[in-house]
Structure 1
Amino acid sequence: MRVHRALLIVGTLLGWVCLLPVTVQGQDGPSSETALVIHGGAGSLSADEMSDDREEAYRLALRTALQEGNAVLRDGGSALDAVQAAITTMEADTLFNAARGAVRTSEGAVELDAAIMDGATRNAGALTGVQTVKHPIRLARAIMEDSYHVMFAQEGAEAFAEQQGLELVENEYFITAARRSGEEKAPADPPAAQEEDEKYGTVGAVALDAAGNLAAGTSTGGISDKEFGR
């Protein structure tokens, strides 16, 4: 018999969750521990902007990402797979500044960045400035596992994604109605200085699997109105 316990902590302004599942030793096998921590940045949100309904939406989205990643660990999967599962879920959710739902650049497009690292091998993969890769975290992993480089940028990253058969979409896919409605005014040129306590959203995950291996990853749309190539 296996028993799981979880500690759940939620921060409402940026949206982050910590889940620590523990498998307790049973009569049918040795004990093992797994852990998953995620953060789901939602951009710059003040307390006034965080209504009860909006907070509940973020909590649900974060819980869904946790469940996806934890399911991998519960089934004996690797930390890398758990990290990818959790981040892919958040990349597909329009509430977060990562992939679908990412903020727009000064030119009105979306440019995405992502990175992943395997603690067991200390290998890493990263990308910056992609505009058509549906799940940047999958591209980061492909770079880590299927190339001898650590990082690709912009057109090179797009070409490698296509070579690897990863799903590509039009840039419009990433731009949600909520992002459009929040960015109707013309962007500052250069972008206006931000308040010291203003935060920018991103998503990420760290996992520990039953074999004792760690992995971490992150995915982001960057900051609003960032300039070309930033």
Structure 2
Amino acid sequence: MKPIALVVHGGCGVMSPEGLPAADWEEARQALAAALRAGWSVLAAGGRALDAVEAAVVVLEDSPQFNAGHGAALNAEGEHELDSSIMEGGARLAGAVIGVRRIRNPVRAARAVLDGGQVVALAGPAADRFAEARGLAMVEPGYFTTERRRENLVAMQARGAAGTVAAASEAEKHGTVGAVALDGDGHLAAATSTGGYTNKPPGRVGDSPIVGAGTYALDGVCGVSGTGQGEAFIRHALAHDVACRMAYRGDALETATAGVIADLTPPGTGAGLIALDAAGRVAAPFNTGGMFRGWVTPQGDAYVATHAEVFPLGRLDTA
């Protein structure tokens, strides 16, 4: 069996250590660890990378600590519009849902779109109906709302009125979750999910459900999931650009991932990403104060981090 590896993220941003209580930082790290264990259990049992990234992202969507699923951001009208995509790097199959409101785990709906094989993306009420018809768990929109997100919306709208939006913390604005996996057959897969950013215009679509922008996987090269200012990721086709730099220019994973972030415009665009190459090497660069992230090496050694400090979790089962 070839090497297996997994990396996850829960968004990047300014992330001042004082911005959240210590208990929330710890809960976020625990959720990252749970996501790693969920995805790794699939890979260690000989499962597919596609199943592993779906399993990992479901855990993060279910955690109120991240802006995806339960705990997603509210738009300017106080509503949720959730986006997700998933891709496998062999046949380059992909699926996405955009602006959904009732699907408990949007990544599962994105996977169902991929498995359906007819389209790559479904949007709005049609995507909700599609998921319900396929027996996915559906919820009332209020399920996604947390008190923190209500407070974020009030704060962002107040900043808008005062003209101080630029001073908002990342916690007030946006976030994303994602996973990338390499399985024992050498296949790569990536998935991304988000609630967008707080106080976004209704109908806004970011990079997370756009294949090639926020999510991309290509066997033999790399898998990528991004987080940051989605409009810039779309304009730069960021996730696809990582693969191109590696496949066409021969860049190593670390060089390619650092390069796409450095080249984003305008200067100062907040961004981060996670990536794996075909050998299971991990990259998780970011240009902000921190990024929720975790990874498992081909040897089974697991780690989580939010800022510079990395917390080892020990070795996960590889049998």
Superposed pair shares fold, TM > 0.5: yes
CA deviations 1:55-84 (Å, max 9, x no partner) are 222111100110110011111110011000
1:196 positional shift: 9.9
Partners of 2:124 and 2:109 lie apart in 1 by 12
Q: CA RMSD in A?
A: 2.2
Contact 1:43-1:202 within 8 A present in 2 as well: no
Q: Which of the numbers 82, 104, 108 marks the counterpart of 1:134?
A: 104
Pair 1:220 & 2:183 matched: no
1:120 positional shift: 1.4
Partners of 2:104 and 2:186 lie apart in 1 by 30
The residue correspondences of 1:175-214 to structure 2 (distance < 5 A) are: 175-185=145-155, 187=157, 188=160, 193-194=165-166, 198=170, 200-214=174-188
Q: What is the DSSP-based 3-state SS (H/G/I as helix, E as strand, rest coil) of the residue aligned with 2:57?
A: helix
Contact 1:44-1:201 within 8 A present in 2 as well: no
The residue correspondences of 1:50-129 to structure 2 (distance < 5 A) are: 50-129=20-99
Q: Which of the numbers 37, 43, 49 marks the counterpart of 2:19?
A: 49
Q: TM-score, normalised by structure 2?
A: 0.58
1:147 positional shift: 3.9
Q: Which of the numbers 137, 144, 161 marks the counterpart of 1:167?
A: 137
Amino acid at match of 2:199: D
Q: What is the DSSP-based 3-state SS (H/G/I as helix, E as strand, rest coil) of the residue aligned with 1:41?
A: strand
Pair 1:146 & 2:116 matched: yes
Amino acid at match of 1:207: A
Moved runs in structure 1, 4+ residues, more than 4 A?
195-199
1:48 positional shift: 2.2
Partners of 1:92 and 1:214 lie apart in 2 by 24
Looking at secondary structure, tell me which structure has more helix per residue: 2
Amino acid at match of 2:142: E
1:128 positional shift: 0.7
Partners of 2:36 and 2:148 lie apart in 1 by 24
Identity across matched positions, percent: 45
Contact 1:97-1:221 within 8 A present in 2 as well: yes
Q: TM-score, normalised by structure 1?
A: 0.80
CA deviations 1:24-67 (Å, max 9, x no partner) are xxxxxxx5310001001276632321443332221111001101
Amino acid at match of 1:173: Y
Amino acid at match of 1:152: L
Provide structure 1 residue ranges, at least 5 long, that are not aligned to the other structure.
1-30
- For the structure 1 residues 37 and 186, does the alpha-carbon distance in structure 2 shift closer, same or farther, using more than 3 Å as the test? closer
Amino acid at match of 2:188: L
Provide structure 2 residue ranges, at least 5 long, that are not aligned to the other structure.
205-319
1:162 positional shift: 1.7
Partners of 2:138 and 2:94 lie apart in 1 by 22
